[in-house]
Amino acid sequence: MKKVILTGDRPTGKLHLGHYVGSLKKRVELQNSGLYDMYVMIADEQALADNARNPQKIRDSLLEVALDYLAVGIDPSKTTIFIQSQIPALYELTFHYSGFVHLGRLQRIPTLKQEIKERGFEKELPISWLTYPISQCADITAFGAHLVPVGQDQAPVVEIDREIVRAFNRQYGDILVEPEAVVPDGFAKRLPGLYGIDDKMSKSLDNAIYLSDSPEEVAAKVMKMYTDADHIRVEDAGKVEGNVVFIYLDVFAETAEQKTKVAELKEQYQKGGLGDVAVKKYLIEVLESVLAPIRQRRAEYEQDLDKVRAILRDGSAKADAVANQTLQKVREAIGLNYLEQ
Ligand code: TRP
């Protein structure tokens, strides 16, 4: 049996380059290896967990995220793409798992603490937000996922999911598969935003390049990126470390030719005599080599949204059947089959 991979994204907006290098790119590689049974989920309920009073934002983002998936090369003939809310078994599994984790443990997850602060939830924390890691455990275990490719910040959430699985299995036997997070290396695991390495790329900080940005938007954003604050005149020697333009070049240059060119630019920049604009122009070229094919595939699917909806409908039907099997096993393990003869 092939190993199972499951991963997902909250539909709160279009996906950006941080999502791409942090997770989407890896998913496409894993998908194309043919070694795995892969599920990709649009986590609309998890997005509603902190947007209960703004559901329109989630509805508006749902197809955008699906388009981003298809655009980067997630292929519905190889990967099951589905919508979380269309799989009722996930709600029930969440409830069954809730007894296997306690409040203090959820409150101690570093990612959750950070997210609570970012959302201003310190005083009024929605229960749905506090408990999203439990629902995420349902997402993962419903499909028997072994591997969960996520950005670095989600690794502690997968860790708690592992604990829930172990606690459940200790009680009921070997029912659930214990998942493992797959996290990228280097700056890819937390791509900085356009204006410095302290902030990660994020929609809320307005420092992102979106997969759906036009070439003009990409170029304008790159031109606004921060470089080395001390590199004032072209002749000055510049710093490459901590310079987001060079960090992006390192992350996105893929071909041998691009890598050689980046090495040359770095050397010249550090010596002095290379202006920021020249480096940025090259970054635009490198980013376009990544983004142009994505943009083109997105445009094709945008022409046929009925087809996109059909992909999601088929994927959700398939996911529903698989999740129901797990749910039946769980109900039986707990012993809820009182009325069966
Ligand atoms: N919490 C994830 C994020 O914010 C999204 C997500 C929901 C997810 N369910 C999942 C990721 C299951 C991996 C597996 O990015």
Nearest alpha carbon, ligand 1 atom 13: 7
Are 32 and 115 members of one domain?
yes
Closest ligand 1 atom number to CA of residue 46: 7
Distance CA 257, CA 199 (A): 30
**Residue pLDDT, tens place only, 113-142:** 998 998 899 999 999 999 999 999 999 999
Is the distance from the beta carbon of residue 147 to the nearest atom of ligand 1 less than 6 Å?
no
How high is the pLDDT of residue 234?
87
Residue 206 falls within a domain, yes or no? no
Residue 121 falls within a domain, yes or no? yes
Low-confidence ranges of the chain (pLDDT < 50): none
Which of 150, 183, 200, 201 has most ligand 1 atoms within 8 Å of its beta carbon, as the pocket-test mutant? 150
Contact 125, 116 (CB under 8 A): yes
Are 128 and 90 members of one domain?
yes
Is the distance from the beta carbon of residue 44 to the nearest atom of ligand 1 less than 6 Å?
no
Amino acid symbol at 214: S
Is the distance from the beta carbon of residue 135 to the nearest atom of ligand 1 less than 6 Å?
no
Residue 62 falls within a domain, yes or no? yes
How high is the pLDDT of residue 334?
97
Q: How far is the CA of 139 from the centre of ligand 1 (A)?
A: 8
How high is the pLDDT of residue 145?
98
Is the distance from the beta carbon of residue 9 to the nearest atom of ligand 1 less than 6 Å?
yes
Residue 29 falls within a domain, yes or no? yes
How high is the pLDDT of residue 232?
87
Are 275 and 315 members of one domain?
no
Contact 274, 266 (CB under 8 A): no
DSSP string, 124-144: S--HHHHTHHHHHHHHHHHTT
Q: Which domain range does residue 335 map to? A: 3-188+305-340
Q: Structural domain tally of the chain?
A: 2
**Residues comprising the chain, all counted:** 341
How high is the pLDDT of residue 83?
98
**Residue pLDDT, tens place only, 271-311:** 998 999 999 999 999 999 999 999 999 999 999 999 999 99
Is the distance from the beta carbon of residue 50 to the nearest atom of ligand 1 less than 6 Å?
no
Distance CA 85, CA 90 (A): 8
Residue 200 falls within a domain, yes or no? no
Residue 201 falls within a domain, yes or no? no
Nearest alpha carbon, ligand 1 atom 14: 7
